[in-house]
Chains A and B, each alone.
Chain A
Amino acid sequence: MLFSSNVFIFIFLPGVLFVYYALLRKHRKLQNTFLCLASLFFYAWGEPKFVLVMMFSICVNWFFGLMTGLSRERGRKNTAKAFVAFDVLFNLTVIFIFKYLMFAVTNLNRFAGTSLKVPEIALPIGISFFTFQAMSYVIDVYRGRGAYQKNILNVGLYISLFPQLIAGPIVRYETVADEIMNRKENLDDFTAGCKRFIIGLAKKVIIANNVAMVADHAFAMLKGANFYGESGLSFSMAWLGIIAYTLQIFFDFSGYSDMAIGLGRMFGFHFLENFNYPYISLSVTEFWRRWHISLGTWFRDYLYIPLGGNRTKTKARHLFNIFMVWFCTGVWHGANWTFIAWGLLYFFLLVFEKYSGFDVRDEHGRHHVIKHIYLLLVVMCGWVIFRADNLGEALAYLRCMFVPSGQLVDGSAMYYGREFWMFMALGALFSMPVIPWISSRLKGSRNVILAAAEIFIVLALFLVSVSYLVKSSYNPFIYFNF
C-alpha cells in the first residue's frame, strides 16, 4: 500500500486511527499488537506472499535479539557477539537471496563462463529498509543502546511499523526503543504529524509525480520512444529530463520521509530527520550529510566505525574503509552495475574532496557559486547513472547532455518545458530552505491573516494532492530496487 493512494488516506489511516485512539486508548500492549498487525496488513496489501518473508525475519531477529540480550545480561560477551554475528549473517543472507542472487549468478555466468541457472526471484518491496532495521535491533541490543524485547510483537512493531516500512527513513532501534512501550501521544504531536503528512504528500504527488513525467519521457526517448513523431533524445530534452529527475527523486524520497515522520508523530513515535535541503550543499561531503541521513549514519555507525573509521594506522586502510561504505551504499540501492558505479563515483569524489580540502566551507563565501554549480553537476551526472537501466544507457544519456548533436531544442523539450516549468520552478524553489527562512522572519508574529494563510495553503495542498490521486494521475513508485 502506498501513502499516496486513496485506499491508504481514506480507508486504512482513519481505520487505524479510530481503533488505536478510540477503542484501544490507554492499552499500550493492545495498541502495539494492533499497530504490528495493521503494519503487516499494510505490507501484505501490496505484497501478500512476501509478508511471510518479513514475519520470518521478525521471528529470527527477535530470537537473536533475545539471545544477545540475555547473554549480555549474564556477562557472556563472546556469546552475545556470536549471536550478533549469526544475526548479521542471517540478514545478509536473506537480502542476498532476494536482492542479489540473480545479479550474482548472471554476472558469474558472464565473467566466469559458468552456465548456472539464473533463479527468478521477485524482490520484496522495502527489503533493504526492514533488513537494516532488523540488524540495527540486534546490534543496538548488543551495544546496550536499547533493551531487548521479550514480546515478539514489539520486535514486529519496530521492524514492520508501517510509517517507515517501505521507503524509510531507516529507524534505528536506539531511536525508538523506549517509545515502543513508553511513548506519550499528545495533541501537539498529533496535529504536527498531520501537517507534516500533508506536506510530504504534496511534495510527492504535486511535484515529484509531475516532474517524473518529464524524466521518464527523457529516458524513454533515449531508448527510442516516439514523441509525436520525433524520436531520439535531444540536448535540451536530456537536460530537462535530468533536472526533472533530480527534483523527482528528492521530492519523492523526502516527501515519503515527511509522511513517515508525520505518521510516526501521529502515533507518538519520533523518527529522526532524513533530508536537510541537500541541493544547497557546496560539496559532495556536505551533500551526503544532508541526503538520506538515516542511511548515511547507519553505514557510519554500523560499518565505517566498526571497520576502524578514520582512526587507522595507514591511509590505505582508511581509503579501504571509505571504499567499503560507498561500495555498500551503491549495492544497497539495487543489484545493478549502475548502482555500484554510482556509489563508487561518490567514493572518488569524497576522497578527492577530503584530500584536496575542497569540502571545507569558506566562511567568507568565496567560490560558493562555483562550488554549488560543481555540486549540482556531479549530483545530476550521478543521477543519470542511478536512473539508467545499464551503464551503456547512462553513457549515452551523458553524451546527449554534453555532446550536443542534431536539433538543440526539439518539440518534446518545448512541450515539457511549457507544460511542466511551473512544477520544476516550485521544485527548485522548495529545494532551498525557503519555508524555514520565512518562518524565521515571521517568528513571534501573531498576525491572524498569516495564520489563516498558512492553514489555507496546507489544506489546499491536501485537496490538490487528493485530486491528483482521484484522477489516477501518474503515480510512480521508485523504490522497487531499494
Chain B
Amino acid sequence: MKNRIIAFIFTGLIFITGCATAYKSFDAVMDIVRNGELSSKTPKKIEGVLQEEMYKKYWWIDIHGLTQRILDRSVVDEDGSDVFRLTDGSLTGGCSYKSDEKIEKYIKNVKKVRDRISPDTGLVYVQLPFKVDSNDQMPPGIKSYANENCDRLLAGLEKEGVETLDIRKCIHDADLDWPSLFYTTDHHWRPQTACMAADWIAQYLAEEHGYEYDSSLYDPDNMKTEVYEDLFLGSLGRRTGSLYAGIDDFELVTPDYETSFDFTSYPGDTVIHREGDFREALIDDSNLKKDYYNINNYAAYTGDSTKSTTTINHDPINHKKILLVRDSYSCAMQPFLSLSQEQVTTLDLRYFTDETVIDHINNNDYDMVIIAYTPSAFDSTRFSFHKIPD
C-alpha cells in the first residue's frame, strides 16, 4: 500500500508538472525547432527552455531554499556564482580578488578621464560600500576581497591626484550598524543609506568645491517613510528562494517637504518622462507591487538600471549640472543627490554605448563628474569609459 501511495503521487506529479511545463514552453520550443537549424546543440537549447519555463519553478526554488536552511548551509551554490549567508543572516554575493594589474588599469583610466575633460569640470571618484564590511561576517573559510580591492583602488587614485570620497569611511565615522544599512535578501543598500550617501556627497561638494549645502534637505526628520511589509525579495533571495533568508520589508523614503522635478529615463530605445514632486516624478509605482520573482521593488527609485537618466530639480540650492557615472546603487542615490543639484544625469556603462564618456562630458558642459561604484561593479566595461583616446 505504501508503495502504491508513493507511486500514485509520483506519477501524478510528473504527469501534471510535465504537461504544464510542456504547455508553457511549447511556443518557445517550437521556435527553436522552426527557426534554428537542427544541430547537436538543439537538445541543450530545448532543455534550457524547459528549465526556464518549468511549471511552478519558484515553488521548487523555495523547497531548495528550505532544504538549505534546514541543512544550515551558509552557501547556496550555483555554477560559478555562489550566494553567501552572512553571520547576521543576510545574503551577499562573493567578491573575488582583483589583480594589481587590473586595479592599475582602472586607476589609469579614471586619471585619463580626469585629464581629458575640461579643466572647468571637476571629477571625484566616490567609493560606495559593499555589503560585507569585515570577513568576520563571511562563512568560515570564505573571504571577500571587496574592501581590499577598494583600498588599493583608492590609494592608487589618491597617488595620481584624483579626488576621492570613501563612503565606507563616512559610515564608520558615523558609527552606523553596517548590516542594517543593506537589505537582507538583496545586495543593494536601503534607501535610508542611499540618502545618507547623497548627503555625504553634498557635504563633500560644499567643503571641497564651494557648493551650497542645506542639511535640512537630508534630515531624517524631514523625510517620510512608507513601509511595505514583506514586499521585497531581493535578487539574491530570488536565487535562494524565499524560505532561505526570508522576505524584506520595503521602506519608501521620500522628502516630507515641497519638491518639483522632471525625470527622464532612456531604457533601450524608449523614453520615459515623468514630472511632479519627488514621489510623482522619481518613484516608479509599478515596482511597488508584491510579486517576489517578477518585480524588482528596489527599482521603485528611478526604475531599473538604464543607459541614462536625468533629473531636473526646479527649485535647487545649486544650479549645477552633475554627471553620475554609476552602477545600480545609484538607482536609489540619484533621487536624493538631486535634492541639492539642478541636474543629475546618470550613465550606466553596461548599457550606454552612444559615445565615449569623455565625448559625452565635453559635449554637455557638466560642472562635476562623479564616478560612483561599489566593489562588485569593478569590471573592465565600467572602467573602460568606452574608449579613452591616448
Write out the residue numbers on chain B whose beta carbons fall within 8 Å of the beta carbon of A115: none
Among B5, B14, B43, the residue within 8 A (CB) of A9 is B14
Question: Nearest residue in B to A227 (C-beta to C-beta)?
Answer: B141
Q: Is B381 an interface residue (CB 8 A)?
A: no
Docked CA distance A419–B97 (Å): 22
Among A46, A419, A455, the residue within 8 A (CB) of B74 is A419
Q: Is A192 an interface residue (CB 8 A)?
A: yes
Q: Is B63 an interface residue (CB 8 A)?
A: yes
Write out the residue numbers on chain A whose beta carbons fall within 8 Å of the beta carbon of B46: 7
CB of B10 within 8 A of CB of A228, answer no
Q: Which of A441-473 contact B (CB under 8 A)?
A: 451, 454-455, 458-459, 462-464, 466-468, 470-473
CB of B18 within 8 A of CB of A10, answer yes
Q: Is B388 an interface residue (CB 8 A)?
A: no
Write out the residue numbers on chain A whose beta carbons fall within 8 Å of the beta carbon of B57: 470
CB of A451 within 8 A of CB of B2, answer yes
Docked CA distance A405–B78 (Å): 32
Write out the residue numbers on chain B whose beta carbons fall within 8 Å of the beta carbon of A472: 51, 78-79
CB of A6 within 8 A of CB of B6, answer no
Query: Which of B4, B9, B50 gathers the greatest number of chain A CB atoms within 10 Å?
Result: B4
Nearest Cβ distance between residue A335 and chain B, in whole angstroms?
Answer: 23
Nearest Cβ distance between residue B363 and chain A, in whole angstroms?
Answer: 43
Write out the residue numbers on chain B whose beta carbons fall within 8 Å of the beta carbon of A468: 64
Q: Is A187 an interface residue (CB 8 A)?
A: yes
CB of A7 within 8 A of CB of B7, answer no
Docked CA distance A474–B64 (Å): 13
Q: Is A139 an interface residue (CB 8 A)?
A: no
CB of A187 within 8 A of CB of B47, answer no
Given contacts A191-B7, A194-B10, contact A228 B143 (CB under 8 A): yes
Write out the residue numbers on chain B whose beta carbons fall within 8 Å of the beta carbon of A187: 4
Q: Which of A397-419 contact B (CB under 8 A)?
A: 410-416, 418-419
CB of B9 within 8 A of CB of A459, answer yes
Q: Is A280 an interface residue (CB 8 A)?
A: no
CB of A471 within 8 A of CB of B6, answer no
Nearest Cβ distance between residue A82 and chain B, in whole angstroms?
Answer: 39
Write out the residue numbers on chain B whose beta carbons fall within 8 Å of the beta carbon of A1: 43
Q: Which of A146-199 contact B (CB under 8 A)?
A: 187-188, 190-195, 198
CB of B40 within 8 A of CB of A415, answer no
CB of A467 within 8 A of CB of B7, answer no
Write out the residue numbers on chain A whose beta carbons fall within 8 Å of the beta carbon of B74: 418-419
CB of A413 within 8 A of CB of B6, answer no
Question: Nearest residue in A to B55 (C-beta to C-beta)?
Answer: A10
Q: Is A11 an interface residue (CB 8 A)?
A: yes
Question: Nearest residue in A to B10 (C-beta to C-beta)?
Answer: A194
Question: Nearest residue in A to B62 (C-beta to C-beta)?
Answer: A467
Nearest Cβ distance between residue B21 and chain A, in whole angstroms?
Answer: 6
Size bracket, chain B contacts: 35 or more
Given contacts A419-B73, A470-B51, contact A459 B6 (CB under 8 A): yes
CB of A11 within 8 A of CB of B18, answer yes
B 110-154 to A, binary, CB cutoff 8 A, 1 in contact else 0: 000000000000000000000000000001111101000000000
Write out the residue numbers on chain A whose beta carbons fall within 8 Å of the beta carbon of B71: 422-423
CB of B77 within 8 A of CB of A229, answer no
CB of A474 within 8 A of CB of B51, answer no
Docked CA distance A471–B145 (Å): 27
Write out the residue numbers on chain A whose beta carbons fall within 8 Å of the beta carbon of B171: none
CB of A10 within 8 A of CB of B78, answer no
CB of A455 within 8 A of CB of B2, answer yes
Docked CA distance A35–B203 (Å): 75
Stretch of A13-21, A83-91, A322-330 on the interface side: A13-21
Nearest Cβ distance between residue A392 and chain B, in whole angstroms?
Answer: 28
CB of B141 within 8 A of CB of A473, answer no
Q: Is B54 an interface residue (CB 8 A)?
A: yes
CB of A415 within 8 A of CB of B139, answer yes
- Chain A contact residues: over half helix, strand or loop, or mixed? helix
Docked CA distance A215–B248 (Å): 36
- Chain B contact residues: over half helix, strand or loop, or mixed? helix
Among B3, B73, B78, the residue within 8 A (CB) of A192 is B3
Docked CA distance A118–B50 (Å): 39
Write out the residue numbers on chain A whose beta carbons fall within 8 Å of the beta carbon of B15: 14, 18
Q: Is A25 an interface residue (CB 8 A)?
A: no
Given contacts A10-B17, A10-B18, A418-B140, contact A467 B50 (CB under 8 A): no
CB of A459 within 8 A of CB of B51, answer no
Nearest Cβ distance between residue A189 and chain B, in whole angstroms?
Answer: 10
Nearest Cβ distance between residue A449 and chain B, in whole angstroms?
Answer: 12
CB of A473 within 8 A of CB of B6, answer no
Write out the residue numbers on chain A whose beta carbons fall within 8 Å of the beta carbon of B72: 422
Given contacts A411-B141, A467-B60, contact A455 B97 (CB under 8 A): no
Q: Which of A1-46 contact B (CB under 8 A)?
A: 1, 5-7, 9-11, 13-15, 17-18, 45-46
Question: Nearest residue in B to A50 (C-beta to C-beta)?
Answer: B40
Docked CA distance A143–B26 (Å): 50
Q: Is B271 an interface residue (CB 8 A)?
A: no
CB of A191 within 8 A of CB of B47, answer no
CB of A11 within 8 A of CB of B1, answer no
CB of A194 within 8 A of CB of B64, answer no
Among A459, A462, A470, the residue within 8 A (CB) of B64 is A470
Docked CA distance A11–B20 (Å): 10
Q: Is A48 an interface residue (CB 8 A)?
A: yes
Write out the residue numbers on chain A whose beta carbons fall within 8 Å of the beta carbon of B75: 415, 419
Docked CA distance A213–B75 (Å): 12
Q: Is A49 an interface residue (CB 8 A)?
A: yes
Write out the residue numbers on chain A whose beta carbons fall within 8 Å of the beta carbon of B1: 451
CB of B61 within 8 A of CB of A471, answer yes
Q: Which of B1-38 contact A (CB under 8 A)?
A: 1-7, 9-11, 13-15, 17-19, 21-22
Docked CA distance A156–B330 (Å): 63
9 pairs from A and B in contact (CB 8 Å cutoff): A1-B43, A46-B43, A191-B3, A228-B141, A419-B75, A459-B6, A467-B60, A471-B78, A472-B78
* A interface, CB within 8 angstroms of B: 1, 5-7, 9-11, 13-15, 17-18, 45-46, 48-49, 187-188, 190-195, 198, 213, 228-229, 410-416, 418-419, 422-423, 451, 454-455, 458-459, 462-464, 466-468, 470-474
* B interface, CB within 8 angstroms of A: 1-7, 9-11, 13-15, 17-19, 21-22, 40, 43, 46-47, 50-51, 54, 57, 60-61, 63-64, 67, 71-75, 77-79, 96-97, 139-143, 145
Interface pairs A-B: 7 shortest CB-CB: A415-B141, A414-B141, A191-B3, A467-B64, A191-B7, A470-B60, A194-B7
Q: Can you name 13 extra interface pairs (CB under 8 A) apart from A191-B3, A413-B141, A455-B6? A: A5-B47, A7-B46, A9-B18, A10-B21, A13-B14, A213-B77, A411-B142, A464-B63, A470-B51, A470-B64, A471-B60, A472-B79, A473-B64
